[in-house]
Chains A and B, each alone.
Chain A
């Protein structure tokens, strides 16, 4: 079946521009997570949705980062006034969250480069 998809795969933004990154989770998956992965590092948690509710945004690095999932399916991560330190791969993961299943499935990521 179809996995998690993300678009665009690559994004180059000039410092100060706004960007929007899209995530299409696996159909029927209740939970959706965003992670940020710097070069050579493990992914770091940004935010979590259960259906359309954003239940945890403790990992968002600043108020320039905003995420939404208005209909409980597709999610968008928006970064306003991008800075060079925002350059990273942004990963989306979804999870069925049924019973005690904690398995998260990742998309290919969006590589953001801020120049």
Chain B
């Protein structure tokens, strides 16, 4: 049972454009929402994370927007670069749990030069 639905499955963006990846969840007990970036042959790397008491968090070119009432959160990559081409995963943890991450299905981003 997938607890977080991620879209789109793949995304192609021109250099300098904005990449937007969306995730939707159902369980309101989820209380930590990170985004991970993964390059082929590498482990996932933490990009940015947010808690549900904050509506937006920005770090450099990466922004998380969080809509608690809609149970949705999204990753925005501003001024996308070819080096951003990777697979992106949203994830969450659940309060009271062991804090294991449950991941979305991933979005393969390609930024064209």
Contacts and interface: CB of A to CB of B under 8 A. Distances in A.
Which of A4, A56, A97, A102 has the most CB atoms of chain B within a 10 A radius of its CB? A102
Contacts of A59: 100
Contacts, number: 60
Interface in A1-43: 4, 31, 33, 35, 40-43
B29 interface: no
B22 interface: no
B45 A42 contact: no
B44 interface: yes
A102 B99 contact: yes
Interface of B: 32, 34, 36, 41-46, 49, 89, 91, 93, 97-106
Interface of A: 4, 31, 33, 35, 40-45, 48, 50, 55-56, 59, 91, 93, 95, 97, 102-109
